[in-house]
Amino acid sequence: MRISRARSRAALSMAATLPLLAGALALGTPNASADSAPSGRNALQGTKPAWATAGADRGATSDSGKVSVRVHLAGRDAKGLAAYAAAVSDPRSASYGKYLSAAQAQARFGATRQQIDQVAHWLESSGLTVTGTNQHYVSATGDVAAAEKTFGTELRNYRKGSRTYRAPATTASVPAALSDAVLAVSGLDNAPHKSSHDETLPPPDAVFRNSGPFSSYYGSKTASTLPSAYGAKAPYAVKGYTGKQLRAAYGAGHWTGKGVTVAITDAYASPTIAKDAAEYAKRNGDAPYRRGQLSQVLPADYTRTEECGASGWYGEETLDVEAVHAVAPAADIVYVGGASCYDADLLDSLNKVVDHRLADIVSNSWGDVEANETPDIAAAYDQIFKMGAIEGIGFYFSSGDDGDNVASTGTKQIDVPSNSAWVTSVGGTALAVGKHDTYQWETGWGTLKSSLSEDGKSWDGLPGEYTSGAGGGTSSSVKQPFYQRGIVPDSLARANGKQRMRTAPDIAAVADPNTGFLVGQTQTLPDGSLGYDEYRIGGTSLAAPVIAGVQALAQQARHGLPIGFANPAIYSRYGSKAYHDVTDHPLGPNRDLAVVRVDYANGVDAADGLLTSLRSIGKDASLKAVRGYDDVTGVGTPANGYVDSYRFPFRRH
């Protein structure tokens, strides 16, 4: 099994991030190397990781070592699946909106019983032990020698960073007779692989609180006694926007999301989510939850709770649920928890949504950097997204919280699965909502931090050091999908070479924790007891459920007809009044913007003092929010005309 290293995309107002591959046919495919296989066998493209180089080789893996694999099934007519998914998602197609039921989708494109049995028999006859079968994959275990025989490759040890991992020395392959049945195999490499098991979840994390002063809306309280910045006194950060302010900013109008179901996937599950969500709605003016409006679909057991930081995911689920409800208060919400933060378990959660058509819209605030994914896992994710598309299900993924990822990884790259051509990648902004819930402006989310000097007369090193920002940029593995052609500038699409590639994000919403969302959660208090508390939070973990909520409103406006995979429809509205065209300098090219933050040094109270800083906004690493499409905010953020544009067939003027 491979860990997704699935970082949740929430950014606390302490400025840290908490604990994201791609299409086919007209929607672009991952670039593949010239993989080859022995006569009578078919290569499984991309199974040899890019880091498994001759220079990193540390010798053969012991034959007695244990391997656990999943053989992902291709199902019937894989090319037909991609074509149908594109057609039903494209407003220009005669097949637009002609979705299949889950049963119809499985019958037309799913794996057959014969394929499952053939793959299982092959694995058993090759010396592996089959541990499970379903319509998506056959899992098996065995020793290294048996795995090498089965997949026609040698497993060797390779140095990756400071660790050594196992990986195929050559491209894995399957018998030619099974080429139509096998999509990919995962598990031959084990970077990383830390096995643990725990049947119980840990208690919530220690309480986090924001210090004041606060603004109740953007600019309502100015830091008049503190030094000026960029020629003016800066306002204090907002305490945290609530549903009323976000609905006004993104043109919710009278729409509520009634009749629409939004699914949320994360790892693990908060034990207090129902209580917390109800309390938050009561305190902050959201509609109370109807009986059964919030439900959960959870695994029988959890694993890797310590490795994945299980309790950190409680806040992620809480943010996602409360943000969706704040924007779309009448939408049903179903939370589908993963048994861990590993790809295999997150894939299982997504499969549950599609197999049982649990929702119309799926919000996902987790992921990893593109360099850590391999085409085998990419293919498994994309198959789910395409099956969802033909059922009218849309997947929304946060684009990441580390800008171009250079500061965190040393390499400019985008995040996964947000890079998939079959999902909507959601970027982030800093949002100014003014008095009377009036939309003022947005910038791209990107933050530089400068601390107050010891004498209190200046801001040290203004504008300061980069802390975080919306993920975005150009994929190195996924070709440009048709819906981005003619809209994404070549300076971005060809940033990695002559080939036009997938660029992220597609759309955006508020993410900057300095203009973030107020969330309420049961946490571990300083005395060790549990109690409900509220704090400001951000990250593209906020942007994704906000956009999911807006899409629920749009689907309601569309008379309940599912929007499905939304990117073709999103790009068809490009350049219209449906969007706020977000730039980093909304008040003029020479006008920089900032807010003042005051934080508890210990994150709880003033016992250890306060930390005062200036947070300059609209400064996202090498990424820039400019007029038109950009790699911070995509086509922009929903404006007043966005939701209503779904009431009738949309045509650009």
CB atoms within 10 A of CB 193: 15
For residue 490, the 8-state DSSP code is H
- At 157 the three-state DSSP class reads strand
Q: Extract the tokens encoding 94.
A: 């005669």
Phi, psi dihedrals of residue 545, rounded to the nearest 5° = -70, -30
Res 54 pLDDT > 80: yes
Res 23 pLDDT > 60: no
Chain-centroid distance, C-alpha 323 = 15
Task: State the pLDDT at residue 375.
Answer: 86
Read off the pLDDT of residues 540-550 as tens digits, 9 standing for 90 and up: 999 999 999 99
Q: pTM of the prediction?
A: 0.93
Task: State the pLDDT at residue 7.
Answer: 62
Task: State the pLDDT at residue 190.
Answer: 87
Query: What would the mean pLDDT of 112-136 be, rounded to a whole number?
Result: 96
Place of tokens 């022995």: 38
- Contact 595/515 with Cβ under 8 angstroms? yes
Distance CA 549, CA 541 (A): 13
Query: What would the mean pLDDT of 235-254 be, rounded to a whole number?
Result: 98
Distance CA 328, CA 283 (A): 17
Query: What would the mean pLDDT of 6-14 be, rounded to a whole number?
Result: 63
Which pLDDT band holds residue 48 (cuts at 50, 70, 90)?
confident
What lies within 8 Å, CB to CB, of 22 at 6+ separation is 28, 29, 30, 378, 382, 419, 420, 421, 422, 475, 477, 478, 479, 502
Query: What would the mean pLDDT of 515-521 be, rounded to a whole number?
Result: 97
Element (H, E) at 653: none
Query: What would the mean pLDDT of 321-329 be, rounded to a whole number?
Result: 98
Task: State the pLDDT at residue 648.
Answer: 73
Q: Extract the tokens encoding 512.
A: 């900057």
CB atoms within 10 A of CB 135: 15
CA atoms within 13 A on the CB side of 646: 28
Read off the pLDDT of residues 339-368 as tens digits, 9 standing for 90 and up: 999 999 999 999 999 999 999 999 999 999
Superfamily covering domain 7-20+202-643: Peptidase S8/S53 domain (3.40.50.200)
Q: Extract the tokens encoding 617.
A: 């906004």
Task: State the pLDDT at residue 24.
Answer: 35
Read off the pLDDT of residues 572-625 as tens digits, 9 standing for 90 and up: 999 999 999 999 999 999 899 999 999 999 999 999 999 999 999 999 999 999
- Contact 519/538 with Cβ under 8 angstroms? no
Instruction: Find the angle CA(72)-CA(74)-CA(79) to the nearest 5 degrees.
Output: 145
- Contact 558/646 with Cβ under 8 angstroms? yes
Distance CA 264, CA 280 (A): 18
Task: State the pLDDT at residue 37.
Answer: 67
Read off the pLDDT of residues 171-223 as tens digits, 9 standing for 90 and up: 999 999 999 999 999 999 987 533 222 445 677 889 999 999 999 999 999 99
Task: State the pLDDT at residue 285.
Answer: 96
Q: What share of the chain is helix, strand, coil (3-state, %, to 5)?
A: 25, 30, 45
**b or e along 138-165 (b: 16 or more beta carbons within 10 Å of the residue's beta carbon)?**
bbbbbebbbbbebbbbebbbbebeeeeb
Instruction: Find the angle CA(619)-CA(620)-CA(623) to the nearest 5 degrees.
Output: 115
Task: State the pLDDT at residue 484.
Answer: 98
Which pLDDT band holds residue 513 (cuts at 50, 70, 90)?
very high
Chain-centroid distance, C-alpha 88 = 23
Task: State the pLDDT at residue 51.
Answer: 85
Place of tokens 């019937």: 76
Read off the pLDDT of residues 384-428 as tens digits, 9 standing for 90 and up: 999 999 999 999 999 999 999 999 999 999 999 999 999 999 999
Task: State the pLDDT at residue 374.
Answer: 83
Which among 607, 605, 216, 227 is positioned nearest to 451, based on CA atoms? 227
- Contact 10/264 with Cβ under 8 angstroms? no
Q: Extract the tokens encoding 219.
A: 């600019």
By CB atoms closer than 10 A (0-12, 13-18, 19+), residue 497 is exposed
Which pLDDT band holds residue 1 (cuts at 50, 70, 90)?
very low
Distance CA 614, CA 178 (A): 60
Distance CA 562, CA 45 (A): 34
Distance CA 485, CA 479 (A): 11
Task: State the pLDDT at residue 196.
Answer: 27
